[in-house]
């Protein structure tokens, strides 16, 4: 008889937590509208004077790695 009583209490507790959790949800706030800001050239400064790209076309690049082809 005590297991039936414990099971009943567990069911009631689960129902209360479910109902309480749904009741406590806050409404989702609407996102603010996006306003376009003009870009001012003086706000931006270059971080690098040079850019170097290196293309590795060696034979090891033709082999796959983790199922992906590195270089075609």
What digits encode the pLDDT tens for the residues 1-15? 578 888 889 999 998
pLDDT in tens, 16-44: 888 877 776 677 888 888 888 888 888 88
Rg (CA), the chain: 31
pLDDT at residue 71, rounded to an integer: 61
Domain limits of the chain?
1-26
pLDDT at residue 72, rounded to an integer: 58
CB neighbours of 62 closer than 8 A, spacing ≥ 6?
70, 71
pLDDT at residue 63, rounded to an integer: 73
Average pLDDT over residues 49-53: 86
């Amino acid at each position: 008889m005590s297991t039936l009583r414990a099971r009943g209490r567990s069911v009631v507790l689960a129902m209360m937590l479910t109902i309480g959790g749904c009741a406590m949800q806050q409404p989702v706030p609407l996102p603010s509208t996006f306003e376009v800001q003009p870009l001012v050239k003086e706000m931006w400064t270059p971080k690098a004077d040079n850019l170097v790209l290196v293309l590795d076309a060696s034979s090891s690049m033709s082999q796959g790695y983790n199922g992906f082809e590195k270089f075609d």
